Amino acid sequence: MNQEEVSVAFQELIDGHSYNPHRCLGFHPEDKVIRFYRPDASQMFIEVKGNIVETKKVHEAGFFEYSIDESLQSHDYRIFHSNGLLSYDPYSFFPTIGELDFYLFSSGTHYQAYKILGANFAEQEGIKGIRFAVWAPSAKSISVVSDFNNWDGRVNPMRSLGSSGIWELFIPDLPEGIKYKFEIRTADNSLLIKSDPYAFASELRPSNASIIANIENFNWTDKVWLEKRIKNKGVSPLLIYEVHLGSWKKNDGQFMNYKELAKELVSYCTHMGFTHVELLPIQEHPLDESWGYQVTGFFAVTSRYGTPKDFQWFVNYLHNHNIGVILDWVPGHFPADDFSLSRFDGTALYEHADPKKGWHPHWHTYIFNYGRLEVKNFLIANALFWFDLMHIDGLRVDAVASMLYLDYGRENGEWIPNHFGGKENLEAIEFLKHLNSIIHQKFPGTYMIAEESTSFPKVTMSVEEGGLGFDLKWNMGWMNDTLRYFSKEGIHRKYHHDDLTFGLIYAFSEKFISVLSHDEVVHGKKSLLAKMPGDVWQQFANVRLLYSYMICQPGKKLLFMGGEIGQWNEWACKGEMEWFLLQFPIHHSLQTMIKDINHFYQNYPALWENDSSYQSFEWIDFNDRDNSVISYLRKGKKQCLLCVHHFTPNFYSDYFIPLKNVEEIREVFNTDEERYSGSGKNNLSIERVKDGINILGIKIQLAPLATMIFEVTFTNLSN
């Protein structure tokens, strides 16, 4: 560089809009000089071949030079950072990201973008350090600001890598645990201080700096589990315990660490018979009251409960004790916090620029621009990250309906139709198909689950068959109909009988999970127990009936924490599960019943084999609305169960069920047992009703507000 070019480069750095600081700074043997920028410093020392030497100040703004000869190599000298850290010069290295990475990222198919962008441990020219990289195509300049440079955006400007929109800087010798952010100068010269979208760790709220973390050196020991889940998917029971880690259990009112929680959850889930936990979002989020659904750190586990390695330990421990881990995942929107993704480089980068597509009126959050390939890449790489480096077993995708429809939560005139004139968000639909396809390709044996509340077709059909490609869908219709029915007094339930039977019309149109989720025990909806009518005995009997009814229905199962112990109060995210209730026999007996029927479910394949097929279910009587009773068969390959549900508090000593050709029958579960605080109306013997030699049905004791399950064999294949 001639002196005029150097002067121009100096001024660009002073003004804060240099797109290539390496052109001027660092090791330049062609000019026989090393250049440094230390704003406001009066003098600067460096180490050259082990000796401390002083550099020459050549500009009052803080530019220094050190003259060299041909014998000096780029790694023969080191610099002192503002905090005293001695390291190699960041401006003596070539770019660390290649053309293939640019191509894949801009095409939306860089499935390991988290290993390129963010703050990754790397080795360049034999030197170890941190590669900082961030996508911000409209920025005028970007700097790394951190502990090590006193948060001074002038000290470590980054290099723009052509038309990719990616800015990069390799800084050697930085240790794990360093806090950092990106200082972004926008096109209008505004300065933004942003957390890293790809950061693996973050400060505990209310602070929000990103933290350097090495997450690729954890010693996993769950190989057997990972191999087993491929074989077991779809042919094993799935019984999910939905958990909010911050309010499940605490230590003297304080959050427990991921490791502590792992041990407690394994013990509890194994005892209670749950096969998986589903965690409300554990990605970093600033607001406790959002429950984790307003994510600011998509690649970072929340520091409320520990470090990324602590969470890896959590997953590894659960896997080694045969408990799967599913995470709630929120690709539908992100909060407007100014330190996060919103208008990241001064423009609508991750969100749509038009608020009719980019702003969610209900949640006051931004909506991702699914048509922008780099944004789609961010989300797909994020999902893959949790499977790849955190070994999770599934993602439950939150608020899918809000993604599928352009008019979701909007009035006429507040949304923009697609290019066919319809309300479907075609870009989001394509994103979901791409997402599910690549996850199933790269991580077979895992689950993609949709929380989808509309009648959008083929949610769980494969992409090849024209579907969205999810494995399972929350059955919101069943949940709403069932809870509405259970809120009625027993005497009135006969007028709402269709709420029980309607769900079976569409029960096999998708692969469903029946859910009693967190959404139903907040915001004035009451706890499961408090929703139930009648006196206290009837309320507990109703909860036993509700849960056992769910267990018997087709589909997988999910229960939110607290329901199993009969909490009276709604869930409070800043509180703790009301474990003290278990000292009262009626609460303890409810928990015992749920434990027993969970293990019963696992041990009776008729309840889970092929449960998304109509062949696994057969109505016996769905029309006894006067007595509020339904009965049906659940069929496995080698087993058949008769399920009878009685939804009133009346008792009938000889209730007839039309069940022909019964060869053998015995009661194998009854929620009215005395040890469950029931009335003890068991069926120790069952009368078979005959017409001559033909068996027409059976007579049973019909326990009040109870589920009765019978194992049945027939004299021939049809009953």
Which residue numbers are catalytic?
398, 451
Q: Distance (Å, rounded) from C-alpha 368 to C-alpha 157? A: 28
Cis peptide before 444 (omega within 30 of 0): no
> What is the Cα 532 distance to its own chain's centre?
31
Pairing of strands 127-135, 118-124: antiparallel
Q: What is the distance between the alpha carbons of residues 265 and 352, in angstroms, rounded to a whole number?
A: 40
Which tokens go with 502?
A: 């309607």
**Helix 476-486 / helix 536-552 crossing angle, nearest 10 deg:** 150
- Provide Rg for the chain, Cα atoms: 31
How many angstroms separate the CA atoms of 318 and 237, rounded? Answer: 17
CB 27 within 8 A of CB 46: no
Give the burial class of 240: count Cβ atoms within 10 A of its Cβ; 0-12 exposed, 13-18 middle, 19 or more buried: buried
CA separation, residue 586 to residues 551, 634, 678 (Å): 21, 30, 9
Give the separation between CA 427 and CA 113, rounded to whole angstroms.
Answer: 21
Hey, what amino acid is at 699? K
Q: How far is CA 210 from the centre of its chain?
A: 20
In which order are the strands placed within the sheet that holds 86-87? Answer: 51-54, 45-48, 77-80, 86-87
Q: Residue 320's closest CA among 360, 358, 257, 270?
A: 270
Q: Where are the alpha helices (DSSP H) in 300-425?
A: 308-320, 355-358, 373-388, 400-404
Per-residue 3-state assignment (H helix, E strand, C coil) for 534-579: CCHHHHHHHHHHHHHHHHHCCCEEEEECCHHHCCCCCCCCCCCCCH
**677 φ/ψ angles, rounded to the nearest 5 degrees:** 70, 25
